[in-house]
Amino acid sequence: MERSEKRLKQRLRVCVATCNRADYSKLAPIMFGIKSHPEIFDLEVVVLGSHLIDDYGNTFRMIEQDEFDIRSKLHTIVRGEDEAAMVESVGLALVKLPDVLQRLAPDILLVHGDRFDALALATAAALMNIRILHLEGGEVSGTIDDSIRHSISKLAHYHAVCTRSAERHLISMCEDHSHILLAGCPSYDKLLSAHQRDDYTDIIKSWIGDDVKEQNYIVALQHPVTTDIQNSIKIYELMLDALISFNKRTLILFPNIDAGSKEMVRVMRRKGIEQHPNFRAVKHVPFDQFIQLVAHAGCMIGNSSCGVREAGAFGTPVINLGTRQTGRETGENVLHVRDADTHNKIYHALELQFGKRYPCSKIYGDGNAVQRILKFMQSINLSEPLQKKFCFPAVKECISQDIDHILETQSALAVDLGGTNLRVAIVCMKGKVVKKYTQLNPKTFEERIELILTMCKQAMADAVHLNCRILGVGIGGGIIQHNELIHGSTFCAAELGHIVVSLEGPECMCGSHGCIEAYSSGLALQREAKRLHDEDLLLVEGMTVNNKEQVNAIHLINAARLGNSKAESILHTAGTALGLGIVNILHMINPSLVILSGVLSEHYENPVRQVISQRALLSAQGTKVMVSELEDPALLGAASMVLDYTTRRTY
């Protein structure tokens, strides 16, 4: 007996609340799945909303016919079919739901979609600390449904979505990614397995007529748009006129219970649709039969989500009228008539779509949604804290008004990884280099990284004594766009020194040939200076080199200044190579200004300008070239990225 009680206690108590015929078509496959695993789940069914209204077919009976035990029936609809009645219906549901939810005490409440009844369910459950699993959140459509759907998503703890786009929308709404399941639409499980029934012709005959053949009739289903009731009534009237003129047998379903539905029914009766020989007007069709009727129709018309979702699974042509489904993902079978303001537009759309067949679409599911949802529910940890958490995007941490922070100087570490030297500096907010460290750049990658870390650690330690608060580390060299550093897919963007400017150029340290660095870097010029010195072609009158002194780029520059033609030629070639690389950059990103910096910049300025004037496109030839007057522009530029980003205020 104890073991039996323990087993029952371990079952997951799932309450499924259904409000209307449409959401039951999505919830029923899950309910059957839950019911088939009594050892895991304990199913409680609550029925409310238009299910219990005679004018809408008393659709709670189909739930009973499916042999589900309805634990509670709540009459929550205030009649009137206007905006005030919708609000009063939500209020009435909120009055009645607490008693039911307290009595059933579910572990999880399943809520579907975007109806006002569902909003009442989610509100009550959230306030009563009941976990909510929301189906079909994150989707986009027209009318007030969007706002209601997103409101339910914010109240829900878990989400089962139909499409990848819906998943992304929820993530962008700060929902926890680990609580979102990309399941697909549950109704697709039934659609993809049952739409080829052998008795579909009998179903067509029973609902539309004995003389009607497949693909030779229309299914019409149009609902009011609660944010634009008068226009939706006008579109409904135009649709009926177009259908009458088109002269095809039509199954037309009554609209849902939203504000404006009463007026739409009046329009339908004023036009005599219920007595018209071409029309069969019905309040409800069982979903399994409705599937057959849509699957074999010549066309479906209206603004029901069924047209943009379920009909795509069969390739049935659809005409979507108005804005109610604006934003929904659709297959190629849907023709939108968003501005359906004339009878002729709708009639022409019928001519274009009727009788066509399109490839079947699986945008909303692959037939395996239910098993995914059941597995997802089993994974829910009921011992986790009930308070849901939102995953907000990272924002800058507020700096507390501590006296130490006030007295500290906000600073950055800047790193300049040059060809000859590796430099690290502490740079303050005012652009002043507080302290600078310089070391010869090692030859191997591993040694360079180790030296960078060592120098940065030393600088961090010194920063404490210098009363500098390091906000981040910046490395010179890169492309900045909209105040953001471009990294690239593998973090090697803006390796500008390795732009190839000659196919047969000197070998570069990267292993390639003809890179800018192989011509214009300090190491490249040092190599050329050493070559000239070894050939006794470097020194001219007024120059001396100590035997213990290492020949470098400075010696080459001095030789050029003193009239050494070979040194001048090398510097000109280096400047030309740099100019060619800059021309490539101008053509790629089109900057407004080129700033040259470093000891070689004044020697490169004229060759670079000359190459730009000769080689650049006409639109880029006017790009200004100037030499930086700053002492350490690379270090200051790297530091400015850190200081700007970490102190930026976003409004």
Query: Cα 104–106–107 angle (5° rounding)?
Result: 160
Specify whether the CB–CB gap between 314 and 359 falls below 8 A.
no
Give the model's pLDDT for residue 94: 96
Bridge partner residues of 299 (DSSP): 218
Specify whether the CB–CB gap between 14 and 377 falls below 8 A.
yes
Q: What is the pLDDT confidence band of residue 405, given thresholds at 50, 70 and 90?
A: low
Give the model's pLDDT for residue 308: 87
Average pLDDT over the chain, rounded to an integer = 88
Query: Cα 254–260–261 angle (5° rounding)?
Result: 15
pTM greater than 0.85 = no
| Range 275-280 contact pairs with CB under 8 angstroms and sequence separation of 24 or more | 276/244, 278/243, 278/244, 278/247, 278/248, 278/249, 278/250, 279/243, 279/249, 279/250, 279/251, 279/252, 280/207, 280/208, 280/209, 280/249, 280/250, 280/251, 280/252
pLDDT beyond 90 at 101: yes
Label residues 380-398 b or e (16+ Cβ within 10 Å = b): eeeeeeeebeeeeeeeeee
| DSSP assigned state of 258 | S
Q: What is the mean pLDDT of residues 288-305?
A: 92
**54-63, 168-177, 277-286: the lowest-pLDDT one:** 54-63
| 284 against 130, higher pLDDT | 130
Give the model's pLDDT for residue 543: 85
For the segment(s) 191-353, the CATH number from 3.40.50.2300, 3.20.20.10, 1.20.120.330, 3.40.50.2000 is 3.40.50.2000
pLDDT beyond 80 at 9: no
**164-178, 480-494, 538-552: the lowest-pLDDT one:** 480-494
Joined tokens for residue 79: 């009649």
Specify whether the CB–CB gap between 600 and 419 falls below 8 A.
no
pLDDT beyond 50 at 5: no
Give the model's pLDDT for residue 508: 87
Give the model's pLDDT for residue 517: 87
Cβ burial of 369 (10 Å; 0-12, 13-18, 19+) is: buried
Q: Is 515 marked as a binding-site residue?
A: yes
**CA–CA distances in Å: residue 645 to residues 391, 630, 637:** 22, 22, 13
Q: What is the pLDDT confidence band of residue 509, given thresholds at 50, 70 and 90?
A: confident
Give the model's pLDDT for residue 633: 83
Q: Where are the domains of the chain?
A: 12-185+369-379, 191-353, 417-466, 479-647
What is the full DSSP assignment across 473-527?
EEES---EETTEE---TTS-TT-GGG-B--TT-PBPTTS-BSBHHHHHSHHHHHH
Amino acid at 152: I
Q: What is the mean pLDDT of residues 163-189?
A: 93
| Alpha-carbon gap, residue 526 to 34, rounded angstroms | 77
| Alpha-carbon gap, residue 427 to 488, rounded angstroms | 26
Q: What is the mean pLDDT of residues 494-517?
A: 87
Consecutive H or E run containing 445: helix 445-465
- Of 36, 27, 280, the C-alpha closest to 133 is 27
Cβ burial of 375 (10 Å; 0-12, 13-18, 19+) is: exposed
Give the model's pLDDT for residue 6: 44
Specify whether the CB–CB gap between 282 and 254 falls below 8 A.
yes
Q: What is the pLDDT confidence band of residue 476, given thresholds at 50, 70 and 90?
A: low
Percentage of the chain exceeding pLDDT 70: 94
Architecture of domain 479-647: 2-Layer Sandwich (3.30)
pLDDT beyond 70 at 316: yes
Specify whether the CB–CB gap between 303 and 222 falls below 8 A.
yes
pLDDT beyond 90 at 99: yes
Q: What is the mean pLDDT of residues 563-572?
A: 91
- Of 255, 256, 259, the C-alpha closest to 83 is 259
pLDDT in tens, 16-53: 999 998 899 899 999 999 999 999 999 999 999 999 99
Give the model's pLDDT for residue 102: 96
| Alpha-carbon gap, residue 645 to 482, rounded angstroms | 11
Q: What is the mean pLDDT of residues 328-350?
A: 90
| Alpha-carbon gap, residue 130 to 97, rounded angstroms | 12
Q: What is the pLDDT confidence band of residue 487, given thresholds at 50, 70 and 90?
A: confident
Q: Is 498 marked as a binding-site residue?
A: yes
Q: What is the mean pLDDT of residues 342-358?
A: 93
Joined tokens for residue 317: 């042509």
CA dihedral 101, 116, 111, 361 (to 10 degrees): 170
Q: What is the mean pLDDT of residues 566-578?
A: 91
Q: What is the mean pLDDT of residues 566-579?
A: 91
Q: What is the pLDDT confidence band of residue 542, given thresholds at 50, 70 and 90?
A: confident
What is the full DSSP assignment across 100-131?
HHHHH--SEEEEETT-HHHHHHHHHHHHTT-E
What is the full DSSP assignment across 287-324?
HHHHHHHHHT-SEEEES-HHHHTGGGGTT--EEEESST
pLDDT beyond 70 at 397: no
| Alpha-carbon gap, residue 523 to 552, rounded angstroms | 8
Give the model's pLDDT for residue 354: 96
Q: Is 405 marked as a binding-site residue?
A: no
Q: What is the pLDDT confidence band of residue 167, given thresholds at 50, 70 and 90?
A: very high
Q: Is 276 marked as a binding-site residue?
A: no
| Alpha-carbon gap, residue 47 to 115, rounded angstroms | 14
| Alpha-carbon gap, residue 499 to 281, rounded angstroms | 72
Percentage of the chain exceeding pLDDT 90: 53
Radius of gyration, alpha carbons of the chain: 37
- Find the distance separating the first CA and the last CA of the chain, reported in whole Å: 64
**104-118, 416-430, 636-650: the lowest-pLDDT one:** 636-650
Q: What is the pLDDT confidence band of residue 240, given thresholds at 50, 70 and 90?
A: very high
Joined tokens for residue 80: 């009137």
Q: What count of other Cβ atoms lies within 10 Å of the Cβ of residue 467?
A: 12
* 12-185+369-379, CATH topology level: Rossmann fold (3.40.50)
Same CATH topology for 191-353 and 479-647: the answer is: no
